[in-house]
Structure 1
Amino acid sequence: MIKGLLFDYGGTIDTNGLHWGRVLWDSYEKHQAGVPEGVFLKAYSYGERALAIHPIIEPRHTFLDTLQLKVEQQFLFLRNEGIDLPASLGKAIAQDCYQFAKSSVQQAAPVLAQLAERYPLVMVSNFYGNLSTVLQDFGIAGYFQAIVESAVVGVRKPDAAIYALGVKELGFAPDECVVIGDSYSKDILPAKTVGCQTIWLNVKGWETTEVSSEADVEIDDFAQIPEVIGGL
């Protein structure tokens, strides 16, 4: 019997399954930034590492702030590669991606509200220490009874220990909990290691390796979650 739900945030709730690298790349293309995709991938990875290692993002930062800081780090890498892009372009890309995320969260909110009436929800996310501010900014913080955030607890996915902390917050046995996430390697596999049931939001990631899925259920739209949980 399912008693509680554990949600990933980035790429799950805020993009409906699209990898954030893909969302940003689409915006680079939309604004004709003129950056080769391979170079962008390196810039994206550089930015993610910088934000994870250095105290660039503060707890007060909103998601728009976060995106602007992400893009600033990407532009720094690109500048060192000889591609000097104007700050105005960075702001346009960040704003574009913010509006995409805002729209995705608005679509996810009624689903979260429906689920929160039936189950306690806990957020488990690799994030930068400002996830509470982000959730409040988007108006969905009230659906979650707890947030397990990598920058706060000191454990990052794919370490299964972060999902064990989420299960502890729910207070149920692992097999009574369902993990919902978009990353097979960072959500589904560690969740299965802990003993949780899983729903894989499998849309368009950047994990190119073919996998033999161990997810209990695969979906391609966040809105399908209430229906498929009934079958677990």
Structure 2
Amino acid sequence: MKSNKIRGIIFDYGGTLDTRGDHWSEVIWDGYQQCGIAIDKPSYRDAYVYGERALAVNPIVTPEFHFIDILREKFQLQLQFLCGCPLFPTGKDDDQRQAQLATHLEMSADEIGDTAMRIATCINDATNALLHENRKVLERLRQAGLPMVLVSNFYGNIRTVLRDAHLDGFFKEIVESAVVGVRKPNPAIFALGVCALDLPASEVLVVGDTYGKDIVPAHQLGCHTIWIKGRQWEDKPADESICDDVITRLEDMLKFVSQNA
């Protein structure tokens, strides 16, 4: 049985601290629209999936990568996919999906690089503004004496990204999928976060933006959960009754925490 007492918090990173619960595919799609990239959304989504797969299984990102470096690599991979360029191996059907694109782009290698950097700069600036806002929430939680742990599916450079965002001092421990070798939605990655807090799961609150990857596995462990709900990758029905709260801005969690800490 869950305790009513919250004594520690686990945060997701991507989509939770750096967007308002919006899946990063939607954030990037906004960037495409703002920068005038003429592509249909189904083709873009195939390119997005390819880019994530390529980053996951190929040694592209190094621990020294800054966030804007990740964005640049994501966009280059996506644009290469949309332009019909040779692909990195992923073990999936990306070549077939690329061949079946409804629309495609025509860019030179230099144009791909320039366009990728232009979109990356635009999105990085917007992300930094939101991180500044959410840093204030973390500061209030720290002042309340609540230990925090970060649990994230990331590329091996989350510590660099946190340092750039001035968020590196908030977390007792960082559990990163590329380092520990287990990824969400496996509850084991959240179990590592619970262990780092040295608390019973029933006294831990997990805050995440993805129902299937954050809320469900954390609930299975017996943790409290808050879903920061923005635009999702898939519009699937979700049993919100397993959440302690559903919010749209990170600061909205403070009321629940103050009532239960």
Please classify the TM superposition score into its range, dividing by the shorter chain length.
over 0.9
Q: Normalising by structure 1, what TM-score? A: 0.97
- Tell me, yes or no, if structure 1 residue 84 matches structure 2 residue 106: yes
CA contact (8 A) 1:6 1:123 kept: yes
In structure 2, the residue matched to 1:130 is: 157
- Tell me, yes or no, if structure 1 residue 71 matches structure 2 residue 75: yes
Deviation at 1:97, TM superposition (A): 1.0
Deviation at 1:60, TM superposition (A): 0.3
1:32-181 map, 5 Å: 32-80=36-84, 81=98, 82-85=104-107, 86=111, 87-117=113-143, 118-181=145-208
- Runs of 5+ in structure 1 lacking a partner? none
- In 1: Cα distance, 2:34 partner to 2:173 partner: 37
Q: Return structure 1 stretches of 4+ with deviation > 4 angstroms.
A: none
In structure 2, the residue matched to 1:26 is: 30
In structure 1, the residue matched to 2:87 is: none
- In 2: Cα distance, 1:177 partner to 1:52 partner: 29
Deviation at 1:231, TM superposition (A): 3.4
AA partner of residue 115 (structure 2): L
Matched residue of 1:89: which SS?
helix
- Runs of 5+ in structure 2 lacking a partner? 85-97, 99-103
Deviations 1:34-71 (A, max 9, x none): 01100000000110111111111000000011111111
Q: Normalising by structure 2, what TM-score? A: 0.87
- In 1: Cα distance, 2:185 partner to 2:201 partner: 17
Deviations 1:2-47 (A, max 9, x none): 1100000000100121111111000101111101100000000110
AA partner of residue 162 (structure 1): I
1:167-206 map, 5 Å: 167-206=194-233
AA partner of residue 111 (structure 1): V
AA partner of residue 203 (structure 2): E
AA partner of residue 223 (structure 1): E
Matched residue of 2:14: which SS?
coil
CA contact (8 A) 2:226 2:243 kept: yes
CA contact (8 A) 2:20 2:229 kept: no
- In 2: Cα distance, 1:93 partner to 1:139 partner: 23
CA contact (8 A) 1:122 1:146 kept: yes
Which structure would you say has the larger Rg? 2
CA contact (8 A) 2:83 2:106 kept: yes
- In 2: Cα distance, 1:163 partner to 1:180 partner: 11
CA contact (8 A) 1:181 1:201 kept: yes
Deviations 1:151-188 (A, max 9, x none): 00000001110000000100000010000000000000
- In 1: Cα distance, 2:179 partner to 2:49 partner: 21
- In 2: Cα distance, 1:222 partner to 1:38 partner: 30
Higher alpha-carbon deviation: 76-85 or 211-220: 76-85
